[in-house]
Amino acid sequence: MKEKVALLSIVCLFAQFFLVLIASAENAQPLMLAKQYHENIDVKKYWVSEKLDGIRARWDGHKLVSKNGHPISVPTWFTHNFPDRVMEGELWLGRNQYEETSSITSKKIADQRWSKIKLMLFDMPEAKGTFSERLLVMRRIIKSIDSPYISVIPQFRVNSHNELMSRLQSVVNLGGEGLMLHHEASNYKHGRSEYLLKLKKFDDAEATVIGYKPGKGQFENMLGSIKVRNDQGKEFYIGSGFNKRQRQHPPALLSRVTYQYQGFTNNGLPRFPVFLRIRDAE
């Protein structure tokens, strides 16, 4: 009897998980997504910006929504004077503050902590023209309004791959995550695009939590590592990157996590995987 109850609970858990996936897919925004940077491009034709470690969001001209299309609870004073144009950006608190940003933006009832956040714009999804033209429009719009809570991510140019890598190292030294490259002549197109590239010191990916391994020694009675399955079907453990609170309250089964790694083993497993964060719940 107990085995039947346990099996039924597992079935229900999986059913709830897939219902959440279906609902998210139905509400998801049509986004332009980045591919990995590669050297055989002309970097002079790209605008470069820091890759902010925030929460991706879209201002639809009236309200703020997540990348999955769900409304984000936000104080009215935060969006006061926001333009009536569709704009996309990152809700950002600062470098290495993703968890705090996620905590603030995920609340059903917005609180005063929103005063520490900015919507850092990087594109206008419904605007016509090249990225250079859209960037110019964004800058003009933001300059014309009076709001301390919305800004355009600084964009700059580089003349060579070596200069780009030097800029990357400078950002990383300051605690940043990496760089983004927008092709100057690109239109906003849904899906992954060669005209939008990301450059980081380490690769990262996402996986689903499917189990746990208890900790030992200093981590006794806490999490030792999580067992995950990545999108290629490979199963492996991630045991580093967790703080004490995360070891006491590990990511839930079937939740999605982001991890960092350095290439692959001969068996196709991520080498030196390190936990970064739990993916947005939505």
Task: Tell me which residues are annotated as active site.
Answer: 51
CA distance 203 to 9: 36
CA distance 261 to 256: 16
Handedness of CA 276, 277, 278, 280 (dihedral sign): negative
Amino acid at 154: P
CA distance 226 to 209: 7
Q: What is the 3-state secondary structure (H, E, C) of 116-144?
A: HCEEEEEECCCCCCCHHHHHHHHHHHHHH
Residues 6+ away with beta carbon under 8 Å from 156:
47, 48, 49, 167
Q: How many CA atoms lie within 13 A of 73 on its CB side?
A: 11
CB atoms within 10 A of CB 88: 22
Q: How many CA atoms lie within 13 A of 186 on its CB side?
A: 22
CB 43 within 8 A of CB 152: no
CB 228 within 8 A of CB 209: yes
